[in-house]
Structure 1
Amino acid sequence: MIIFDPTQVVAARQGSRAALGGLINAAKGPVFNLAMRMLAHREDAEDATHEILIKIITHLSDVREIDLAGAWAFRVATRHLTQTARLGRVEKMRLTFEDFAENLNHDERDGSHIGLTEIEHQLALKEVKVGCTLAMLVCLSRPLRMAYILGDIFELTDTEASGVLEIQAGTYRQRLRRARSSVSDFMQSNCSIHSASARCRCENRIAPALRLGRIEKGAANLNSDQAAQLHPDEIRKDVAALETARRSVAIMRSNPQFETSVPSLVEHLLNRIM
């Protein structure tokens, strides 16, 4: 969720550049994390984040209850990503869970002879795991994807999530059930972190990911805080003790917070509107 200081909202509506900057700083992290999980591509997520932040700061006058401005901003973000945002590069692949499973089962390669140092190998493992879970979400339709992200990753209650999406609670619960079932069934059949009997292993995805340019040797493209991210083997141990139905949720939540790499975002946006 997005938390705004009411005094900054009032000052921003009166034209304070500093207050607007404070609101952008407060919103950019939650918005970017939402966009990354919806679009599964850093550049697409950054573009969407820019668009959403511009909507937020140029429509502050629409907010009727200052104390609820953060909740309003989060609704703006979810509405944009569900209904308005252009299809991202991963979305344009039109992946289904069946397509994804076939790709995983037919494009594996032993990664022991690709010349990575141990540090590069560990980084690649984490990048592959994050990329796979993000691509998995894109196999869901946007409405189901957003329901899953809000409910099982961001841990909003049914009441909170349905309010954010501006739909009936029953409709939201139905979407969440469908999304949960699809993700859990896919992981149980294909992801070795989820199920020891599943075929796909992160280490066998490194070579194809490097070949296709989905990851880069020694680079953390999907997430800028790899130090805080658990190794897939550590996650596997953690989820093994959970009930099967909860393992997919735990794997999705194991992704760290994503951080935008655009250092001048605030200044850039302020210059566009002032």
Structure 2
Amino acid sequence: MIIFDPVTVEAARQGSRAALEELINAASGPVFNLAMRMLAHRQDAEDATQEILIKIITHLGDLREMELAGAWAFRIATRHLAKTARLGRVEKMRWGFKEYTADLDHGQADPAHLDLTDAEHQLALKEVKVGCTLAMLVCLSRPLRIAYILGEIFEMTDTEACDVLEIPAGTYRQRLRRARNSITDFMQSTCSIHSAAATCSCARRITPALQTGRIAKGITGLNADQIGALAPKDVQRNVANLETAQRSVSILRSNPRFVPSMTALVEQILHQFP
């Protein structure tokens, strides 16, 4: 998940600022993508990413096998997000699937009155879909959430995930099964992308999302090259012929690769290592 050049790692250990910056750039994307799915909030994810990258950099001296530096760094990121990171803004709401379902049931409205252009409407649909699926993950406890993210979204093998999480195989498989069942049950009964019989649609969530500031009219946190592939109707078409359990994970995998504000992030970290 994180790829480090052993030569660059050794150069950073010897004090090369350029090598240090290269390691930060290599790790920031994978760490931020994991943090976004664990915390479901960009600022919280960026804060956690900075904390993790500093932890990686300051512990480079502990590394003994340079060829395994990337896996070592990913374990640090995973442990931090699963056990150490402060509760994010979405987590502090303390919602489970029952509370989230109630919020979705009472927070829908026809977006026709918003007077959005077609481009603004399509952008809002995509933002709502991404935000909703991230929030859904936070309904899981952290142990279940990290198991689901590693096993289903990042498609790690049981052996790889157990190694990263440092837990027995039986424990990991139990957590993954519980998380998978919870996500599938929720999406099947709630999400119209997953099931035509479900009542919640991305379009009807636009109004409350704008009202609460979860999204902003005509503004996106997605990269321009990611936006076109995220339309809910396209995702729905892609998952229509899949088995029930496969639909859920396919919808979650359709979220983009999240990109942090790299320039500011690198500068903030390097500033602490003169």
TM-score of the pair, normalised by structure 2: 0.98
Distance 1:265 1:113 in 2: 39
1:137 corresponds to? 137
Structure 1: stretches of 5+ with no match in the other structure: none
2:112 corresponds to which letter in structure 1? S
1:12 corresponds to which letter in structure 2? A
1:244 corresponds to? 244
- Establish whether residue 64 from structure 1 lines up as the match of residue 75 from structure 2: no
Q: Residues 196-235 of structure 1 correspond to what in structure 2 (within 5 A)?
A: 196-221=196-221, 223-225=222-224, 226-235=226-235
1:260 corresponds to which letter in structure 2? P
Q: Is the 8 A contact 2:6 2:66 kept in 1?
A: yes
Q: Residues 17-56 of structure 1 correspond to what in structure 2 (within 5 A)?
A: 17-56=17-56
Deviations 1:2-58 (A, max 9, x none): 010000011000000011111000000000000000000000000000000000011
Give 3-state SS (helix, strand or coil) of 2:110's partner. Answer: coil
Q: Decide which moves more: 263-272 or 169-178.
A: 263-272
2:94 corresponds to which letter in structure 1? R
CA drift of 1:265 comes to 1.9
Q: Is the 8 A contact 2:126 2:227 kept in 1?
A: no
1:119 corresponds to which letter in structure 2? A
Distance 2:264 2:200 in 1: 39
Count matched residues. Answer: 273
1:137 corresponds to which letter in structure 2? L
Distance 2:162 2:37 in 1: 19
2:82 corresponds to? 82
Deviations 1:50-105 (A, max 9, x none): 00000001100111111001000000000000111000000000011000111111
Structure 2: stretches of 5+ with no match in the other structure: none
Q: Is the 8 A contact 1:44 1:88 kept in 2?
A: yes
Distance 2:223 2:89 in 1: 20
1:190 corresponds to? 190
Give 3-state SS (helix, strand or coil) of 2:271's partner. Answer: helix
Q: Residues 100-111 of structure 1 correspond to what in structure 2 (within 5 A)?
A: 100-111=100-111
Give 3-state SS (helix, strand or coil) of 1:213's partner. Answer: coil
Deviations 1:164-183 (A, max 9, x none): 00111111111000000000
1:257 corresponds to? 257
1:127 corresponds to which letter in structure 2? E
1:209 corresponds to which letter in structure 2? A
CA drift of 1:268 comes to 2.2
CA drift of 1:107 comes to 1.3
CA 1:144/1:109 → structure 2, altered by over 3 Å: closer, same or farther?
Answer: same
Distance 2:149 2:227 in 1: 24
CA drift of 1:141 comes to 0.2
CA drift of 1:262 comes to 4.1
TM-score of the pair, normalised by structure 1: 0.98
1:81 corresponds to which letter in structure 2? L
Distance 1:263 1:228 in 2: 25
Distance 1:51 1:97 in 2: 29
CA drift of 1:115 comes to 1.5
2:223 corresponds to which letter in structure 1? S
Give 3-state SS (helix, strand or coil) of 1:264's partner. Answer: helix
2:94 corresponds to? 94
1:168 corresponds to which letter in structure 2? P
